[in-house]
Amino acid sequence: MKKILVTGGLGFIGSHTVVELQAEGYEVVVIDNLNNSRKEVKISIEEISGKTFELKVADVTNSIALNELFEEHKFEGVIHFAAHKAVGESVENPVSYYQNNLSGLVSLLGAMEKQGVSNLIFSSSCTVYGATTDLPVTEKTVIQKAESPYGTTKILGEEIINDYAKHKDFKSILLRYFNPVGAHPSAKIGELPLGVPNNLVPYITQTAAGIRKQLTVFGDDYNTIDGTCIRDYIHVVDLAKAHVKALAYCNEMKQPVDVFNVGTGKGNTVLEVIHAFEHSNNIKLAYTVGARRGGDVEQIFADTTKVNELLGWHAHYDIADMMKHAWAWQQNLK
Ligand code: UD1
């Protein structure tokens, strides 16, 4: 059985990916520092898949712990999720982003090299395209200067991998995620935002649950159909499945590194998301329109031709499913 190491495997995207890997017959080992996840997520994953997996509670920046893990197991590949991901927090504390996201990647490459493990799937982000006007964005769209330390760590992470793979026998796929939302249809795993959520969908579900008084729509004076920003929301289960496809592709690809956008190819405005939530769940949401949020791009959505054709991956769920599953998960959290 092929054994895969998943860093950050108890997090939002990581946990859903572990489920999909197990469903495809992979044996999984997870390393997670529980910084932004809970140990109980392991039990929920195992309930869904009916299979167990080994969890090492440690930080990916801890080379000693990583090397131990690589000595104990023969991994066929690594999926690297473990990273900080809040744009605002990265502006407040850039060093912790360089430390965690960049040192984590470098420690991982070191441990992989020591044991001759040469396949890596890396979590990148559409944030690398910045405020592009080249829409929908293809993988050839020019990468812009990052607007936040978080974005910098994604651009530099991609660059380190590209550079490393030039000099070593190494294969890597960079997945540029658009906006991952939703939850597993079983409602057993989903997003666990700590404190006040920054992202739209957890804020919506917490408002519907009465945890937040009302949602603020950040600006309605953008040049879009209803004046609110457009994003390409992708169901987390679809995104998880893209990682399994990427692993298989990694083994057969000719060049050392390849990059794929992972989105639905369809943009939705903030108001469309709110209305989809209300409609799918038969709930009236308390919201108000406020000022623009600094650093937000007006619109971004993916051209998914490459991921569709080369990975044979297609998004299955639509925005209504994403809202239904996100709400079922929120209700389960109570
Ligand atoms: C950002 C990053 C993305 C990162 C993600 C994870 C960019 C371009 N994107 O996505 O790379 O992976 O965060 O944290 O940097 N909104 C509201 N009210 C709210 C919250 C959000 O109106 O209370 C709006 C935002 O203005 C935006 C949309 O909802 O238009 C989505 O926002 P959010 O969920 O925070 O994701 P991004 O900022 O797109």
Residue 173: domain span:
3-184+233-263
Among protein residues, the one whose CA lies closest to atom 34 of ligand 1: 199
- Mean pLDDT for 42-69 is 98
- Mean pLDDT for 166-179 is 97
Is 115 a domain residue? Answer: yes
- Mean pLDDT for 177-204 is 96
Among protein residues, the one whose CA lies closest to atom 10 of ligand 1: 179
The whole-number pLDDT of residue 1 equals 74
For residue 126, the CA-to-ligand 1 centroid distance in Å is 11
- Mean pLDDT for 15-34 is 98
What stretch of H or E contains 181? strand 179-181
Tell me if 154 sits within 8 A of 298, measured CB to CB: no
Among protein residues, the one whose CA lies closest to atom 23 of ligand 1: 200
Is 309 a domain residue? Answer: no
Given pLDDT bands bounded at 50, 70 and 90, which one contains residue 205? Answer: very high
- Mean pLDDT for 43-67 is 98
Which percentage of the chain shows pLDDT scores above 90? 95
CA dihedral 138, 143, 146, 151 (to 10 degrees): 50
Given pLDDT bands bounded at 50, 70 and 90, which one contains residue 334? Answer: low
Nearest to 84, CA basis, from 150, 38, 128 = 150
Is 52 a domain residue? Answer: yes
The whole-number pLDDT of residue 17 equals 98
- DSSP secondary structure, 210-264, as one string: TSSS-EEEE-S-SSSSSSS-EE-EEEHHHHHHHHHHHHHHHHH-SSSEEEEEES-
Q: How many CB atoms lie within 10 A of CB 50?
A: 8
- Mean pLDDT for 241-269 is 96
For residue 199, the CA-to-ligand 1 centroid distance in Å is 5
In the chain the first and final C-alpha atoms are separated, in Å, by 38
The whole-number pLDDT of residue 147 equals 85
Q: How far apart are CA 199 and CA 14, in angstroms?
A: 18
Q: What are the pocket residues of ligand 1 if the criterion is a CB atom closer than 6 Å to any ligand atom?
A: 85-87, 125-127, 179, 198-200, 203, 215-218, 229, 231, 270, 293, 296-297
Is 228 a domain residue? Answer: no
Instruction: Report residue 160: phi and psi, to 5°.
Output: -60, -45
**pLDDT tens-digit series, residues 260-301:** 999 999 999 999 999 999 999 999 999 999 999 988 999 999
- DSSP secondary structure, 24-85, as one string: TT-EEEEEE--SSS-THHHHHHHHHHS---EEEE--TT-HHHHHHHHHH---SEEEE--S--
Is 172 a domain residue? Answer: yes
The CATH number that applies at residue 133 is: 3.40.50.720
How far, in Å, are 50, 94, 108, 124, 148 from residue 66 at the CA level? Answer: 27, 24, 7, 21, 28
Instruction: Report residue 301: phi and psi, to 5°.
Output: -155, 160
Tell me if 120 sits within 8 A of 127, measured CB to CB: no
- Of residues 147 and 70, more confidently modeled: 70
Q: Of the residues 218, 223, 271, which should be mutated to test ligand 1's pocket, given the most ligand atoms within 8 Å of the CB?
A: 218
- Residue 219, pLDDT > 70, answer yes
The whole-number pLDDT of residue 251 equals 86
Nearest to 272, CA basis, from 261, 260, 264, 280 = 280
Is 23 a domain residue? Answer: yes
What is the chain's mean pLDDT, rounded? 97
**pLDDT tens-digit series, residues 155-167:** 999 999 999 999 9
For residue 230, the CA-to-ligand 1 centroid distance in Å is 10
Instruction: State the closest ligand 1 atom to the C-alpha of 273, by its place in the atom list counted from 1.
Output: 29
- Mean pLDDT for 33-51 is 96
Catalytic residues: 150
Instruction: State the closest ligand 1 atom to the C-alpha of 130, by its place in the atom list counted from 1.
Output: 8
- Residue 228, pLDDT > 80, answer yes
The whole-number pLDDT of residue 243 equals 98
For residue 233, the CA-to-ligand 1 centroid distance in Å is 10
pTM over 0.85: yes
Is 319 a domain residue? Answer: no
Question: Into how many domains does the chain fold?
Answer: 1
Is 47 a domain residue? Answer: yes
- Mean pLDDT for 78-96 is 94
Q: Of the residues 145, 198, 301, which should be mutated to test ligand 1's pocket, given the most ligand atoms within 8 Å of the CB?
A: 198
289 forms beta bridges with 217
For residue 69, the CA-to-ligand 1 centroid distance in Å is 35
Instruction: Report residue 199: phi and psi, to 5°.
Output: -85, 155
